[in-house]
Amino acid sequence: MGSSCSRPHSLNEADAAENTRSADIDRRILQETKAEQHIHKLLLLGAGESGKSTIFKQIKLLFQTGFDEAELRSYTSVIHANVYQTVKILYEGAKELAQVEPDSSKYVLSPDSQEIGEKLSEISARLEYPFLNKELVEDVRKLWQDPAIQETYSRGSILQVPDCAQYFMENLDRLAELDYVPTKEDVLHARVRTNGVVETQFSPLGESKRGGEVYRLYDVGGQRNERRKWIHLFEGVDAVIFCAAISEYDQMLFEDETKNRMMETKELFDWVLKQRCFEKTSFMLFLNKFDIFERKVQKVPLSVCEWFKDYQPTAPGKQEVEHAYEFVKKKFEELYFQSSKPDRVDRVFKIYRTTALDQKLVKKTFKLIDESMRRSREGT
């Protein structure tokens, strides 16, 4: 990764014209109001699978007009693809575990499941997937319910099983309905990697209210091959929002299965903190996927991650969850101050516990960010 800064990347914004005269007037007033204000630039960064794209979708739902029916329908193919991809990962994972695990019998599928697995795996290998129907859903369900697949799913951390797997498997019948239109919840769970740069403009007060601060949020792909595009956006940033998926302390990168995801996040956060462009830039750290972390940390010790090897657990249950979270939070705080030069430590630095799927929590978090940035600009 380079360390120099180049000119901001110029991006074309889609101008959604309204159909009625009154709507045109409202839109013009809103644009004129925004033109009089400084538009604050937010940069959403993080490694792949950190939940950035879900945060980005929440912004549209919370502070803009949301998704119309055409946009919702456009996610149908993505959601069906998520189901096929999940099936393929689990089926191939079961075969692999049956060969390498000491207790290999746990991963051996029934003959019927084996046949279904081959059929669905072949479909998943196509460039274009067929839409789910009742027959395919029945096959998916039978395979999903096979004890060997469930045992494989319990090892999902080592197999790149997407977080959306359980949710979509519990909604299979609905996904295959002839008149299926994805819900907002479906869209939030849908997994599609961000390629290139996407941007949106919003106010935490909402599009219908004037007088609030206006922000332009940029999201870029988190995988390694996408990060070369980051540098073009580094100038003129008012705040960096860095997403760290704290539930991924026992998982490996999608693009490099020898590298722990949390260690990659640590190194990436360290690199971003040291960028010369961000000497006076506010940092908002999202410790994301707390919902998954809460369930996992009671089963998988934090110490499996090299960064957390000195962790000492306490009592089980909610107390242990809070103890583990505070430990992780402290690690990131220490990294921030270690990586920040003395003249940079007075820049705004806030940590937020987030679950990108939790709409109320995301709304509250962005309102807190808005308040924090207001106070910083006012010098209070």
For the record, the structure tokens of 23 come out as 């709507």
Residue 223 annotated to the active site: yes
For the record, the structure tokens of 224 come out as 């390694």
Composition of the chain by helix, strand, coil, percent to 5? 50, 10, 35
Residue 64 annotated to the active site: no
264 is in an annotated binding site: no
Residue 173 annotated to the active site: no
Q: Considering 76, 166, 200, 223, which one is annotated as catalytic? A: 223
Q: Considering 54, 85, 152, 355, which one is annotated as catalytic? A: 54
51 is in an annotated binding site: yes
66 is in an annotated binding site: no
DSSP annotation string for 55-68: HHHHHHHHHS----
What is the maximal distance between C-alpha atoms in the chain?
Answer: 71
Task: Return the axis-axis angle of helices 111-124 and 76-100, rounded to nearest 10°.
Answer: 130
- What's at 317, amino acid-wise? G
350 is in an annotated binding site: no
137 is in an annotated binding site: no
Query: Order of strands across the sheet with 197-202?
Result: 197-202, 214-220, 39-46, 239-245, 282-288, 349-353
329 is in an annotated binding site: no
Say if residues 25 and 17 touch (Cβ distance below 8 Å).
Answer: no
194 is in an annotated binding site: yes
For the record, the structure tokens of 171 come out as 């909604």
340 is in an annotated binding site: no
Q: Considering 151, 152, 186, 191, which one is annotated as catalytic? A: 191
Q: Considering 163, 199, 219, 294, which one is annotated as catalytic? A: 219
Residue 250 annotated to the active site: no
73 is in an annotated binding site: no
Distance in angstroms (rounded) separating the CA atoms of residues 317 and 298: 7
348 is in an annotated binding site: no
63 is in an annotated binding site: no
Residue 219 annotated to the active site: yes
Query: Residues with catalytic annotation?
Result: 49, 54, 191, 219, 223
Binding-site sequence positions for GTP: 49-54, 188-194, 219-223, 288-291, 356
Binding-site sequence positions for Mg(2+): 53, 194
Binding-site sequence positions: 49-54, 188-194, 219-223, 288-291, 356
